[in-house]
Structure 1
Amino acid sequence: MSIDVHEIKQAIKDKGHHWEAEENHMTALDETTRKKMHGAIPPADAKADPTADEAVDATTLPSSIDWRKNNGNYVTYVKYQGACGSCVGFSATAVFESMIAIEHELPVSQLDNSSHMLIDLSVADAFFCSNHGANCNGWWPKDYFSANHTRGVVQENLFPFADAFPGGNIKPTHEVKITCDSVPHRAESAFTYTNVHTVNSINAAKAHLAKVGPLAANLKLYTDIFSYKSGIYKHTKGQYDGLHCVCIVGYNDNNGDGYWICKNSWGSKWGMQGFFNIGYGQCDMEGYPMFGMSGTTLPPVVYRNHLVGSENHALQKGEALVSNNGHYQLIYQKDGNLVLSKTADKTQLWASKTTDKASDKVVMQADGNLVMYEGATQVWASNTAGHPNAYLTIQMDGEAIIYHEETPVWSTKQS
């Protein structure tokens, strides 16, 4: 059944609701494909039990919270699940990414979605390679958090979501076999967490959002939401389409017309750049438990995408830069050697030859010089001072380069 956006607009007007509808890539989908754009599957005992939570004094809660602008942005970019019932994977992974940013004080830049660390986790690894299995048959957020609790999740560039599908076409049918890549040295690159939280009441959810971070939540989808453009969504017109999981990144009591602020997995061209507001009490959203997590731990190798001189970014021992395709890394080894190598088999391409020299960090200085220090003493340097605001990056061809105003001033191939 097609979605008549004109009828939805008229119904919004007739009922006096405060949201806008539009034709978009979601309303253009046929019904079969559209039903693959959700995939939350609740267990028999899934309904929320508000009495299970400790009582929360509502008067102590802030009237609003938004982790996109809470002394910085702690919400990563919106992703696209395609025609695969993986919304639980995307929403729970979004919670995980935000908690890494929050707990390790790594706000995401509003300009380029970069925290200078790749807080971009692999939904494919979490969804297809855990005990869920390599399929698009849906899941439940509690099961996601249980399954990935100890195994952790690696970065997106080590197993991109599209790579799980032949030809990168995220439109699985019963004839398509999803593949689960084996990530080399997985234990060295997996982010983990220690605590899983279940929230059953509205005030407990607000308290968690205000004091801890985002939550994975489920809502009943009605066909009008596919046409959402902006405003506070309230179910207005359309039939039930299935259960969907999203990431709640905040809330706003809005003087009595309160709403949850949600991050979806239908791409940035849907809604408000991939986000939407939904009124309290809508679509049975509070009728199911919400799930969160905390106690995130960084992997032994912390992968960043570049070091920026103007911010005096540094690599501590065991930390590394990685190319955007994940094939190359520049790691500051615990023996004091700075080594460029292939990620898969650790083939060495370049080294600073500073093994066993006393040093504790490598700093990209504001003057453009990449320097290895022990205390205040230089142990090694790229000798590129005089290039303020330079930055170091690892290219996808395996070369490490320091750029100043887009001009290379140092590289591993020339040193």
Structure 2
Amino acid sequence: MKFLTAFLVVSLAVASQGASIDPHPLSLEFIDQINEKATTWVAGKNFEISDWERVKKLASGVLPGSYSLENVGSINPHDESEDVPESFDSREAWPNCASIKQIRDQSSCGSCWAFGAVEAMSDRICIHTNQTEQVYISAEDLNSCCYGIFACGLGCNGGSVDGPWEYWNTDGIVTGGLYKSNQGCKDYTLEPCEHHTTGSKPQCDSLDYSTPACVRSCSDSSLNYKDSLTFGQKYSAFHNEKQIQLEIYKNGPIEAAFTVYDDFPNYKSGVYQKTSNKAVGGHAIKIIGWGTENDTPYWLIANSWDSDWGDNGYFKMLRGSNHCGIESETAASLPQL
């Protein structure tokens, strides 16, 4: 009888421990929990549970402590007494700049730091040529050639937000767009894959996503690498809501980074506010505007996880309270024209 009693006590303890285990971050149970807590956004299935290690890599493309501003030209350069509109969307402000509307795919590589930068750079060349010159800046060139802990970072294993803008100023970045897009000197060589649920693209785990070698030549033999280089001016940083708004309103989208919590990969719509305190890593994106939805102020943001993630590749995040650090790690510059 004593043995049976002891067995029951142990069994109940094990069962109790099992019941307290948190559900997997990509499980339907966790998604249901998010939707019970969230009041301004909706979660849904974007990935399979088996994708978790890959999702963590996608969401950890900004290296901790890499934002140094060692070579920044200016911080908070704008006069905050200037007015900005209540809402703003770069896609509408500069409708002839196709790059602003483009959602790129970083594939299964932690190169968000490069994508957030080259996307904004591409937009800014178009904007500052009065929407007459549309070029696409190469994520491939930046990801592979600005390599090293004292440069931009470690390619597919993460990088910094400010490093790419300094590199654009000093070394230049060639043109190039999406995988096999023929949008310049060096298109992205990492093939798009199914980050999310099943689809027509190959599964991510079937492909190699190591950082490509730095090759200083164009994949298109009709183009010259040096002639394809684009350059930026000294970059600036913007560390509050009004400074970010003024910069986007005057000069176009900017790059920013934020801390990713384990509920974020399940975003579908609405204004994201974290419901979890479990951080996954740091992620870089492109902020293209702002607005208010159901009395909740938001940043309008383009992600680089393809257009079948989130709200057609976009998401909104709470604006004005430095939520997840979104307003504290930013960079952008004007192009050299």
* Alpha-carbon shift at residue 134 of structure 1 (Å): 7.0
Q: Which has the higher strand share?
A: 1
* Alpha-carbon shift at residue 201 of structure 1 (Å): 1.5
**Shift in alpha-carbon separation, 1:41–1:139, aligned structure 2, 3 A:** same
**Shift in alpha-carbon separation, 1:22–1:256, aligned structure 2, 3 A:** closer
Quick one: distance in 2 between partners of 1:35 and 1:208? 31
* Alpha-carbon shift at residue 195 of structure 1 (Å): 3.3
Residue 47 of structure 2 corresponds to residue 21 of structure 1: no
* Alpha-carbon shift at residue 33 of structure 1 (Å): 1.1
Quick one: distance in 2 between partners of 1:71 and 1:55? 21
Contact 1:222 1:238 in 2 (8 A): yes
Within the candidate set 175, 181, 184, 1:155 is matched to: 175
Quick one: distance in 2 between partners of 1:84 and 1:93? 16
Contact 1:164 1:181 in 2 (8 A): no
Letter in 1 for 2:171: R
Residue 83 of structure 2 corresponds to residue 67 of structure 1: no
**Shift in alpha-carbon separation, 1:223–1:123, aligned structure 2, 3 A:** same
Mark the structure with the bigger radius of gyration: 1
* Alpha-carbon shift at residue 229 of structure 1 (Å): 1.1
The aligned counterpart of 1:278 is: 317
Q: How many residues align?
A: 279
> Structure 1: which 5+ residue stretches go unaligned?
108-116, 298-415
The aligned counterpart of 1:292 is: 332
Q: Which secondary structure does the structure 2 equivalent of 1:217 belong to?
A: strand
Q: Which secondary structure does the structure 2 equivalent of 1:293 belong to?
A: coil
Quick one: distance in 1 between partners of 2:163 and 2:58? 19
| Residue-by-residue CA offset, 1:180-222 (whole Å, 9 max, x unaligned) | 2331521111222223111111111111111111111111101
The aligned counterpart of 2:247 is: 208
Quick one: distance in 2 between partners of 1:146 and 1:129? 13
CA-based RMSD of the aligned residues comes to 3.1
Alignment of structure 1 residues 3-402 onto 2, 5 Å: 3-15=26-38, 17-24=39-46, 26-38=47-59, 39-43=61-65, 53=76, 56-57=79-80, 60-72=83-95, 74=97, 75-106=100-131, 119-131=135-147, 132=152, 135-156=155-176, 157=182, 158-162=185-189, 172=208, 176=210, 178-184=212-218, 185-237=224-276, 239-254=278-293, 256-280=295-319, 281=321, 282-286=323-327, 288-297=328-337
**Identity score, percent:** 24
RCO greater where, 1 or 2, for CA within 8 Å and sep 6 or more?
Answer: 2
* TM norm structure 2: 0.73
Quick one: distance in 2 between partners of 1:27 and 1:229? 15
Contact 1:21 1:227 in 2 (8 A): yes
Q: Which secondary structure does the structure 1 equivalent of 2:317 belong to?
A: strand
Q: Which has the higher helix share?
A: 2
**Shift in alpha-carbon separation, 1:93–1:55, aligned structure 2, 3 A:** closer
Letter in 2 for 1:204: Q
| Residue-by-residue CA offset, 1:216-271 (whole Å, 9 max, x unaligned) | 11111012111111111111246211110100001114575210010111001011
